[in-house]
Amino acid sequence: DAKTTQPNSMESNEEEPVHLPCNHSTISGTDYIHWYRQLPSQGPEYVIHGLTSNVNNRMASLAIAEDRKSSTLILHRATLRDAAVYYCILPLAGGTSYGKLTFGQGTILTVHP
């Protein structure tokens, strides 16, 4: 399994951009990069995913390094509701493990008013 490494925690101020990094140096050519987040006492929420090109959606942007060994989730203007644990995950592909997600410890994002 390709492993990801994220900082344990990050802090931001409200309405400022937040860049959440993720290292995945053992990523294979077919591994997608997924980001989920979990607000307190809730199930995780899908944020964004990509393969090679940068991706944008209404929640965030995903910037993927050219060598794909790292990526950055970008929240353009953090709000208090963005305070959560953010997980960078490379789903397993192939066979009976297809799509399986392995959650690490993630990055705890604190947003200050």
Partner 1 sequence: GAVVSQHPSWVICKSGTSVKIECRSLDFQATTMFWYRQFPKQSLMLMATSNEGSKATYEQGVEKDKFLINHASLTLSTLTVTSAHPEDSSFYICSASGGEPDTQYFGPGTRLTVL
Chain contacts with partner 1 (rule: CB under 8 A): 32, 34, 36, 38, 41-46, 49, 87, 91, 96-106
Least spacing, CB of residue 39 vs partner 1, in Å: 10
Closest CB to partner 1 among residues 53, 98: 98
CA 21 to chain centre: 8
Least spacing, CB of residue 37 vs partner 1, in Å: 10
Terminal Cα-to-Cα distance of the chain (whole angstroms): 38
| Number of continuous H segments (helices) and E segments (strands) in the chain | 0, 9
Q: What span, in angstroms and rounded, lies between the C-alpha atoms of 33 and 37?
A: 14
Least spacing, CB of residue 16 vs partner 1, in Å: 27
Closest CB to partner 1 among residues 13, 105: 105
Q: Quote the DSSP letter at residue 57.
A: -
